[in-house]
Structure 1
Amino acid sequence: MKVMIFVCGEGLGHTSRCISIGRELVSAGHDVHFGAYGYSKELIERKGFKTHEVPSEITLVGKAGSLNLKKSILATFKRGQFLGLIKIRKLLKRNRPDLVISDSYFMGMLSAKSRGIPCYLIVNQSNMEEFFRGKGVSSKIVAELVKKSYTGMFKIVDKVIIPDYPMPYTICRKNLEFKENTWKKVFFTGPLIGKTFDETTAMELERPHVLCTVGGFGYREPIFRKVIEAAALDNSINYTLLSGPSVDPASLGTLPENVTILKFIDDQFPYMKASDLVIAPGGHSTMMEALSFGVPMITVPDLKHNEQQNNAFVIEEDGLGKKIDYSTSPEEILENIRLLIHDDKYKSKLTEMRKMAEELNGPRAMRLLVEERKSR
């Protein structure tokens, strides 16, 4: 079966879960092609997949730690990116896939349907209009347009894929809102991650160990530095912090002996398996990875980013971790770290989530769904 996977490149969470689908499909003998752009395309190519350049779809605009979705939509229209539909249609005409899987890349979905190709749409949010609520009349109008667009898209796709645990364990559940007819085509795969717990060999790290993926660039730098300050308050806990390629570790001054700074790691799963805690923003894919490995989380969602805020709220509500913000002190961060590392009730809950992820086997569930269409 020939499958085309389109990936939204705004955030590598979309990329990582699509790579897991591609790997599973290829291992079963299917012909898989990717449509991607930017660093997402480079990463997919490095994994050895057939990859095609596609136009970027969304221009993200924001400052001071918050995303301005209204300005992002306007900037996207001004760049004329939706004219890329013509390019995508030509790509589909050349490759003639049996099925299109589009991870939040709506040009791919619209182009597929315009050519009569079945399409599965992957999303972990269906209520983007939440970004605009309470922000003035113009924002309210944009919110209604966004909601109508989403409703129409969900109506025409063949399946709506949620890469999360099934209800009531769904982490993104506060971000999901569908009409009754759409719910009938919703499918929860379970976490779609690049490696399973059993496939991963843990790094040799000093325990207890904290993996921090917040990054030290831009508006996230203050919380990054606070984690370093928290580390200095208790040298019995060890840390690996990912600073990002734009940050020179030397600029951070003298580091505590229990802190290691890395700019980037190509494969974070060995670190995750060797860690007792993950500190990360509120991105959905990182949450799925941590939970699949049975690791509790401290989440630092971006300001005014409703999706991340909702995800982080569920993590705390379900007893899987703690939610903090940019005003949290180093002392409070350390208090939460100690709690999550040493409290047995968190360990027990996270073990349940890891075992559930193993049973669900998201990539396999997605492959079986794809093959079910072939057998029709």
Structure 2
Amino acid sequence: MAKRMKHKIYFSVCGEGYGHSSRDMAIAKALEDAGAQVLMGGYGYVLDRMKKSFKTVEIKREFEMTGNNGSFDMKATILKSSKPALGFSKIVAEEKKNMGVFGATCAVADGRSAAILAAFQIGIPCVVIANQTSLESFFMKDNPVMRIIGKNAEFSLSAGISIADVVLIPDFPPPDTVCLGTLGWMKHIKKKEIFTGPVVFSEFMKPGKGGAPDITRPFVLTILGGHAFRLPIFEGILEIAPKFPKVTFLIFTKFKSDKIPKNVVVREFADDISEYMRAAELIITQAGHSTAMEILALGKPALIIPDKGQAEQGSNAERMKALGVAETLDYSHLGAQNLFRKISMLLRGKKYKENAAKYSKIARKMNGAKKAAEIILEYSERVQKY
């Protein structure tokens, strides 16, 4: 008689930003739909987010992202994280306890080195989810001392990944990979990589013009948040919006102004941003990897303005431009004239819409969340066959 398998999948999720949890929750939903039990480990606002849909456990952060004049600073983050790293063994022990109490048959680590080591020590399979397997882009232009620090950080990253069983890249396969510039070239990492296709919530797998009934169309969607250094984007859109009298500009931000043009709508948040993204003609935002995958899955042209000093976003933005689905702007060229020119190009250029539609079709066919779930279940089976 064949042994009945019980799949218990433990996720260890980085809580710095929403991107890690977005893709992990999409995979976790696919796993539960397939009959698996899921336990999500997280901290901070990401833990609160996951609690709404999944069984959760609180874990300690491994590092804390650090900014410099409002922008993300990888070097400062690594230097500041040296103190928490001294308690790394305690974090590993905590992860081992969580896996043991839950009875995990497979661990999934997203931005979490401790979970990889814990799974290795216990002997259960470990699946890494990553859109970045190299830190070289953050340090390649620095002074010799910082390059040495960068090399050490790179070694730690690759050493951790190398003991995992498989690395899932939630992106299109080469040569169309958006995160290609942040993937390492070491063969002992590359041989473990599987490109699943974009991993997004099911809402982002529904292309078309549905949703957003409360906004006059056509409209351009801008997602800014409240970081102070993004204020020039907000001010620039307010300045150029009257030049597009037949287009509505919807901006999600915490910024305020007494001079809002008639065709501009400013809101602080949305319960479901996907309905606005799906209905928009164009999306203006940063190039975090999960956001990039959502844009491509929906088949939307985009104007990508990477955050200052964010090498990963800069790399993603250039890749999206190379794929023919986006234009880019950096803060040194963020004048009203350039903003007007880029938006005009994207609204009038058929090639952007055609290319975006092509990648949307590929994303739906690949169904990254389902594919990732199938791979995780395959590894979960390996410790239960006899």
Q: Is the TM-score greater than 0.5?
A: yes
Greater relative CO, 1 or 2 (CA 8 Å, sep 6+) = 2
Question: CA–CA distance in 2 between the matches of 1:254 and 1:121?
Answer: 48
Q: Name the residue aligned to 1:373.
A: 379
Structure 1 position 90 matched with structure 2 position 97: yes
Question: CA–CA distance in 1 between the matches of 2:126 and 2:82?
Answer: 24
Contact kept, 8 Å, 1:211 with 1:240, in 2: the verdict is yes
Paired residues, number: 370
Deviation at 1:338, TM superposition (A): 1.9
2:148 is paired with a residue of what secondary structure? Answer: helix
Identity of aligned residues (%): 32
For structure 1, list consecutive stretches of 5 or more residues without a partner in the other structure. Answer: none
Contact kept, 8 Å, 1:65 with 1:302, in 2: the verdict is no
2:108 is paired with a residue of what secondary structure? Answer: strand
What CA RMSD, in Å, does the superposition of the two structures yield over aligned residues? 1.7
Q: Name the residue aligned to 1:203.
A: 212
Deviation at 1:199, TM superposition (A): 8.4
What is the correspondence of 1:119-198 to structure 2 with a 5 Å cutoff? 119-195=126-202, 196-198=204-206
Question: CA–CA distance in 2 between the matches of 1:178 and 1:159?
Answer: 16
AA of the residue aligned to 2:237: V
1:172 is paired with a residue of what secondary structure? Answer: helix
* Cα shift readout 1:272-317 (whole Å, capped 9, x = no counterpart): 1100111111201101001100101111112222111111111112
1:219 is paired with a residue of what secondary structure? Answer: helix
What is the correspondence of 1:195-234 to structure 2 with a 5 Å cutoff? 195=202, 196-198=204-206, 201-204=210-213, 205-234=215-244
What is the correspondence of 1:96-135 to structure 2 with a 5 Å cutoff? 96-135=103-142
Q: Which moved more, 1:296-305 or 1:229-238?
A: 229-238
Question: CA–CA distance in 2 between the matches of 1:95 and 1:303?
Answer: 41
What is the correspondence of 1:6-45 to structure 2 with a 5 Å cutoff? 6-45=12-51
Deviation at 1:375, TM superposition (A): 4.3
Q: Which moved more, 1:280-289 or 1:194-203?
A: 194-203
AA of the residue aligned to 1:158: D
Deviation at 1:266, TM superposition (A): 2.8
AA of the residue aligned to 1:154: I
What is the correspondence of 1:264-275 to structure 2 with a 5 Å cutoff? 264-275=269-280
AA of the residue aligned to 2:185: F
Contact kept, 8 Å, 2:92 with 2:118, in 1: the verdict is yes
Structure 1 position 263 matched with structure 2 position 268: yes
Return the TM-score normalized by structure 2: 0.91
Question: CA–CA distance in 2 between the matches of 1:369 and 1:237?
Answer: 44
Question: CA–CA distance in 2 between the matches of 1:14 and 1:239?
Answer: 29
Question: CA–CA distance in 2 between the matches of 1:293 and 1:28?
Answer: 25
AA of the residue aligned to 1:155: S
For structure 2, list consecutive stretches of 5 or more residues without a partner in the other structure. Answer: 1-6
Deviation at 1:261, TM superposition (A): 1.4
Structure 1 position 340 matched with structure 2 position 346: yes
Question: CA–CA distance in 1 between the matches of 2:296 and 2:223?
Answer: 15
AA of the residue aligned to 2:12: F
Q: 1:155 to 1:198 in 2, by over 3 A?
A: same
Question: CA–CA distance in 2 between the matches of 1:10 and 1:224?
Answer: 24
What is the correspondence of 1:284-363 to structure 2 with a 5 Å cutoff? 284-327=289-332, 328-363=334-369
Contact kept, 8 Å, 2:125 with 2:379, in 1: the verdict is no
